[in-house]
Amino acid sequence: MVAKKNSKKETSKKFQTKASSDVKSTISGAKQYFKSTEKKIKKINLNGFLVDAWDMLFHPVRYFTSIKSDGNYEDAILKVLIYGLITAGIKILFNFASITLVGAIFSVILMPIYAILLTFAFAGVMLFFSYLSKGEMNFETAVKAVSSCIFMYPFAYVAYQIAFSYWILFFFSLMIDLYIVFLIYTATTYCLKGEQGVAKVIFSIFTIFVIVYHFSQSGVGYVIQKNPNVGLKYHFHKMQKQMPVVDIK
């Protein structure tokens, strides 16, 4: 009996020691990760972001050709988070008179998360197009390419907010969406080595779809949600015009 009790005590001590060791290891790993992230944040060069955005606008082929697969996702995700925070800041500025403290906090939290979700979603779309174009299926390269395209997120938000009529909002929406299609095409052919001939056919069809969708009835709702204040005014004004005039005598 004594031997069994001693055996149980030893087993319990070993379990506690192992658990304690695992917790310490986890805490140590978390500290190292946050220290590494903190160092990267301190090293952020805003000029580098501006250069990247400039290249994406005017030299996308050169930029996408320079993207390499090295197993490092952190810089790409960090870039997306910063673009999300910039967009949140822009949203707060545009709605400064009406936004609440809770709304501002939610914007700061949710918009970077939304930017990350957009990145992974578009990376999946890009891989799908790469598969159709007989290109590479490298998820890391796709994420890095799309993370650079997310500079359009704050840019698009500003464009939609300054639109003072539905048709200007419509124009901005169509042009931005078409440019995003162009960026995905360029990334698919130069990052993931898709066949240009096949990619041109696929993206030409996709471009026509984007244009037709904008002019469709469903496209009206799609455009309106980008700036409800402007879009809904146009929508209600259009509905009033379509309503029959009743002559009461």
**pLDDT tens across 58-74, in order?**
788 888 888 877 777 77
What is the model's pLDDT at position 27? 56
**CB-side neighbour CA atoms (13 Å) of 147:** 22
Check pLDDT > 50 for residue 2. Answer: no
Identity of the amino acid at 162: I
What is the model's pLDDT at position 130? 92
What is the model's pLDDT at position 191? 87
CA distances from 82 to 6, 53, 77, 115 (A): 56, 13, 9, 9
Q: Is 247 left (phi over 0), alpha (psi -120 to 50) or beta?
A: beta
Which DSSP string do the residues of 112-170 spell out, in sequence order?
HHHHHHHHHHHHHHHHHHHHHTT----HHHHHHHHHHHTTHHHHHHHHHHH--SHHHHH
What is the model's pLDDT at position 60? 81
What is the model's pLDDT at position 103? 83
Check pLDDT > 90 for residue 46. Answer: no
What is the model's pLDDT at position 106? 87
CA distance 214 to 177: 10
What is the model's pLDDT at position 201? 94
**Residue 147 vs residue 48, higher pLDDT:** 147
Mean pLDDT of the chain: 79
Q: Could you tell me the two tokens for 197?
A: 């001939």
CA distance 146 to 34: 24
CA distance 151 to 122: 14
Q: Which of 41-50, 54-63, 84-93 has the lowest mean pLDDT?
A: 41-50
Task: State pLDDT tens for residues 144-170.
Answer: 888 888 888 888 989 999 988 889 999
pTM of the model: 0.72
From the CB of residue 54, how many other CB atoms can be counted at a distance below 10 Å?
12
CA distance 218 to 220: 5
Q: Choose among 136, 112, 117: nearest CA to 126.
A: 136
